[in-house]
Structure 1
Amino acid sequence: MKSSRDRTWSVGEVAQRFDLPTNVLRHWESVGLLTPARDSADRRRYARADIVRVAAIQRNKDAGMTLDQIAVLLDAGAPERHAVLQAHLDDLDRRMEQMRISREMTEHSYNCKAHDIGACPGFQRHVSDLMGAFE
């Protein structure tokens, strides 16, 4: 009897579990991100290691990585791996700071009693860094 670690899944099962169209999985395969085994009828069969890769691809796409960057991430032997990963970390830090400022601005707007939020000095502080050229 096969253990659950030996189980495989069809492209449809994987797509459904990850809420992806099957053509996305096929595309990821065509660009070399996935290499599922084939059964005797030439149907894709995804093993646990393939599922881990699908999850990693999806997580990193959600975080803003391109498929080219993800390919480097998944290739431990890629000479540019550390440079690509550092660039992504820098981008994440930049976007997280932008989100922090946006959250503070939204929270201020939510609580502000000013009739015209754009005229509120507290609100304007959240965009002052973008308005420098207009000062």
Structure 2
Amino acid sequence: MSIGDLAGRFGLATHVLRHWESVGLLSPERVAGRRRYGPDDLYRVAIILRAKEAGLGLDAIREMFATKDPIARRGVMRQHRDDLRRRIDALRASLELVECALECEHVDVATCPHFRAVLDARIEDAARTATHPGPGGI
């Protein structure tokens, strides 16, 4: 199928497929100078889209495709899982803060003891991180 056919099947612009090709995620056959995609390319695009929905960046997806070593592939996935867990934790904390503010009867939410207690946990985390930075810290 043509690039237009494949892109249309997934609701993508053709330039997206060209970009994925330029970064090494796709390598369509060339027939008379035109890109031609087969059934394997359909699956490849579906995998790329699914991985993007899961939050993986194109570099991680390429790394996943490039390695034939299951241990290395699991390493990429573990890294992503750990990143997702950190983001989920941060989102839960944000949601807790918003819910606390919504339920607060104080005129100024910043003076609410419960709201401040929620923020105290954040302040403690910041102090702990500043004292003991992780691998990406100072």
**TM-score, length-scaled by structure 1:** 0.71
Which among 91, 95, 105 is matched to residue 97 of structure 2? 105
Task: Give deviations 1:61-109, integer Å, cap 9, x for gaps.
Answer: 3433222211122245146322221111111111111112222222222
Which among 79, 86, 106 is matched to residue 114 of structure 1? 106
Aligned pairs for 1:11-30 (under 5 A) are 11-30=3-22
One-letter identity of the residue aligned with 2:52: K
Q: State the percentage of identical aligned residues.
A: 44
Which stretch has the larger CA shift, 29-38 or 58-67? 58-67
Task: For structure 2, list consecutive stretches of 5 or more residues without a partner in the other structure.
Answer: 128-138
The 1:14/1:113 distance shift into structure 2, 3 A limit, reads farther
User: Residues of 2 paired with 1:103 and 1:91: CA distance?
Assistant: 18
Q: Secondary structure at the match of 1:127?
A: helix
Task: For structure 1, list consecutive stretches of 5 or more residues without a partner in the other structure.
Answer: 1-7
Larger RCO: 1 or 2 (CA < 8 Å, sep 6+): 1
The 1:62/1:124 distance shift into structure 2, 3 A limit, reads farther
**TM-score, length-scaled by structure 2:** 0.70
- Count of matched residue pairs: 124
Q: Which residue of 2 aligns with 1:45?
A: 36
The 1:111/1:11 distance shift into structure 2, 3 A limit, reads farther
* C-alpha RMSD over aligned residues: 2.5
Which among 77, 84, 90 is matched to residue 92 of structure 1? 84
Which stretch has the larger CA shift, 113-122 or 27-36? 113-122
How much does 1:35 deviate? Answer: 1.8
The 1:108/1:130 distance shift into structure 2, 3 A limit, reads closer
User: Residues of 1 paired with 2:119 and 2:6: CA distance?
Assistant: 43
The 1:93/1:43 distance shift into structure 2, 3 A limit, reads same
Which among 70, 77, 91 is matched to residue 61 of structure 2? 70
